[in-house]
């Protein structure tokens, strides 16, 4: 059977392995592909000084390459979700990971800052589409009470990218030049392409073709917009400081540049642990994870701003920030799929856009603070202001969730919140690989 735009609902009584509690292999393959995507997205934090020197731009200008990628993700996720709404999911994933890999090659060969900037935007568009479609496929392959776990597997690829890919990129950039990091991600993208081609299963045809008007109706729900705000502010707060972690470590904490890959790896280890723990807990305590995780990020950012000149404190806080930021990530993703259950593809796209709206605003705000002469530690103060605002938005969402004006769109789609009993929710599956 040819793959199609959306997975069809399946009988939960005949739908192992997801119904039995184990993750389908295809979800892990998506996580593997996300490793390549995540390495490219975040590796610039370790090679910004090298890029700035080679391209003859300032570090804040080089930081705009991070924002360029994030802007591409913000714009690309919903646009590509709509454009590919009725296209085969598996074919779409193959095309997007291919374009992404070519974007890495273009970045490695870029002769000017403008070309490098453009390559980041193109790569981001492909990355955004892959995230949106991949997240919808992953969510469809598991029951509703395993959504956070499924997203944790995908986000786990991002965490491993921070543990291995980002430090490796910094190591390559320090030893062989920053272009070597782009070549390495291009090679990782080729490996991911092979995995997607050979192991992602075909998707059964839906009972009813998706309609754009029905998908767009989710944007009438204020809970969707609250989820966007919380996600963008929580992510932006952390990456306001993380984007400039390399110069903070060397210029403020006094560490040698050779320590930067190690500290980035510690951030990634914290992210991996946080993703694992958050994915396990969020299915039962979604708002608890959101509030506690974002509050922890706020505390760690304030501590980094005050203690960033002490090398040991900067290193430890980098690990803790990785943990708190990614501890909330599965819950942030799952929450969007709960409130926008009527439109799974656009839900994934909207979450991707929200995260990268934060990844755009955070580095921009950090660069503005640095240009104002306030120094690298001030980026953590600015980030803390964003996370405090995210806590307020989460509290509003929780109050609405508990109140009588609960989301009508979710009810009409049959979706349930992760804080509600999951046993009545349908599960979905895919056909075996062919």
pLDDT digits (tens, 9 = 90+) for 354-413: 887 887 788 889 989 988 888 899 999 999 999 999 999 999 988 887 765 554 444 444
Instruction: Kindly give, in sequence order, each residue whose CB lies less than 8 Å from that of residue 131, ignoring residues fewer than 6 positions away.
Output: 34, 37, 73, 77, 348, 349, 352
Contact 200, 26 (CB under 8 A): yes
Least confident of 126-130, 307-311, 404-408: 404-408
User: Minimal CA–CA distance to 236: which of 370, 114, 383?
Assistant: 383
Whether 286 shows a pLDDT value over 90: the answer reads no
Q: Give 391's strand partners.
A: none
Whether 208 shows a pLDDT value over 80: the answer reads no
Q: Which residue has the higher pLDDT, 344 or 196?
A: 196
Compute how many other C-beta atoms are within 10 angstroms of the C-beta atom of residue 348.
29
Least confident of 45-49, 119-123, 222-226: 45-49
What pLDDT, on the 0 to 100 scale, is given for residue 299?
A: 95
Q: What interhelical angle do 222-242 and 311-327 show, nearest 10?
A: 160
Average pLDDT over residues 96-103: 92
Whether 226 shows a pLDDT value over 80: the answer reads yes
What pLDDT, on the 0 to 100 scale, is given for residue 164?
A: 76
Contact 275, 407 (CB under 8 A): no
In the block, residue with structure tokens 């984007």: 243
Contact 336, 224 (CB under 8 A): yes
Q: Which residue has the higher pLDDT, 401 or 305?
A: 305
Q: Give 203's strand partners.
A: none
The region that residue 177 occupies, defined by phi over 0 for left and psi between -120 and 50 for alpha, beta otherwise, is left
Looking at the chain, the whole-number percentage of residues with pLDDT higher than 70 is: 82
How many helices and strands in the chain, by DSSP H and E?
Answer: 18, 2
In a 13 Å sphere around the CA of 390, the CA atoms on its Cβ side amount to: 33
Whether 10 shows a pLDDT value over 90: the answer reads no
Average pLDDT over residues 12-29: 59
Q: Where are the alpha helices (DSSP H) in 200-221?
A: 212-216
* Confidence band, pLDDT 50/70/90 cuts, at residue 207: low
Contact 194, 33 (CB under 8 A): no
Please state, rounded to an integer, the average pLDDT across all residues of the chain.
79
Compute how many other C-beta atoms are within 10 angstroms of the C-beta atom of residue 191.
14
- In angstroms, the Cα distances linking 218 to 149, 213, 404 are 24, 9, 19
Compute how many other C-beta atoms are within 10 angstroms of the C-beta atom of residue 140.
24
Strand, helix or coil at 429?
Answer: coil
Instruction: Kindly give, in sequence order, each residue whose CB lies less than 8 Å from that of residue 292, ignoring residues fewer than 6 positions away.
Output: none
**Residue ranges per structural domain of the chain:** 9-428
Least confident of 59-73, 104-118, 182-196, 300-314: 59-73
CATH number of 9-428: 1.20.1250.20
Q: Which residue has the higher pLDDT, 219 or 136?
A: 219
């Amino acid at each position: 059977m040819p793959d199609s735009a959306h997975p069809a609902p399946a009988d939960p009584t005949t739908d192992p392995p997801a119904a039995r509690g184990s993750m389908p292999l295809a979800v892990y393959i998506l996580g593997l592909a996300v490793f390549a995507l995540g390495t490219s997205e975040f590796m610039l934090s370790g090679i910004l000084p090298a890029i700035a020197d080679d391209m003859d731009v300032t570090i804040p200008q080089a930081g705009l390459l991070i924002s360029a990628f994030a802007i591409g993700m913000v714009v690309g996720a919903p646009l590509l979700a709509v454009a590919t709404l009725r296209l085969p999911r598996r074919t779409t994933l193959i095309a997007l990971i291919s374009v992404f890999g070519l974007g890495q090659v273009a970045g490695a060969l870029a002769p000017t800052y403008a070309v490098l900037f453009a390559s980041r935007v193109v790569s981001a568009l492909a990355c955004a589409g892959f995230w949106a479609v991949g997240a919808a496929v992953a969510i469809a392959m598991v029951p509703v009470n395993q959504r956070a776990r499924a997203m944790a597997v995908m986000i786990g690829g991002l965490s491993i990218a921070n543990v291995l890919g980002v430090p490796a990129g910094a190591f390559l950039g320090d030893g062989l030049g920053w272009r070597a990091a782009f070549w390495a991600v291009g090679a990782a993208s080729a490996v991911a392409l092979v995995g997607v081609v050979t192991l992602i299963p075909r998707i059964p045809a839906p009972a009813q073709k998706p309609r754009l008007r029905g998908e767009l109706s989710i944007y009438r729900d204020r809970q969707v917009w609250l989820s966007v705000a919380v996600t963008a502010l929580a992510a932006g707060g952390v990456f306001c400081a993380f984007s400039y972690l390399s110069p903070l470590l060397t210029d403020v904490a006094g560490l040698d540049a050779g320590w930067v890959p190690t500290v980035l790896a510690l951030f990634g280890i914290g992210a991996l642990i946080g993703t694992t723990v958050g994915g396990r807990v969020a299915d039962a305590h979604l708002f608890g994870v959101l509030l506690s995780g974002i509050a922890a990020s706020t505390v760690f950012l304030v501590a980094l701003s005050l203690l960033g000149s002490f090398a040991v404190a900067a290193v430890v806080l980098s690990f803790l920030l990785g943990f708190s930021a990614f501890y909330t990530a599965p819950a942030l993703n799952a929450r969007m799929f709960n409130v926008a259950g009527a439109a799974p593809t656009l839900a994934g796209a909207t979450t991707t856009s929200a995260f990268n709206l934060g990844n755009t605003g955070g580095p921009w705000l950090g660069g503005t603070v640095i240009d104002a002469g306030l120094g690298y530690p001030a980026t953590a103060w600015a980030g803390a202001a964003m996370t405090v605002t995210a806590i307020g938005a989460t509290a509003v969402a929780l109050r609405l969730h508990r109140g009588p004006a609960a989301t009508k769109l979710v009810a009409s789609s049959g979706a349930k919140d992760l804080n509600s009993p999951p046993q009545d929710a349908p599960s979905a599956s895919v056909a075996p690989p062919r």
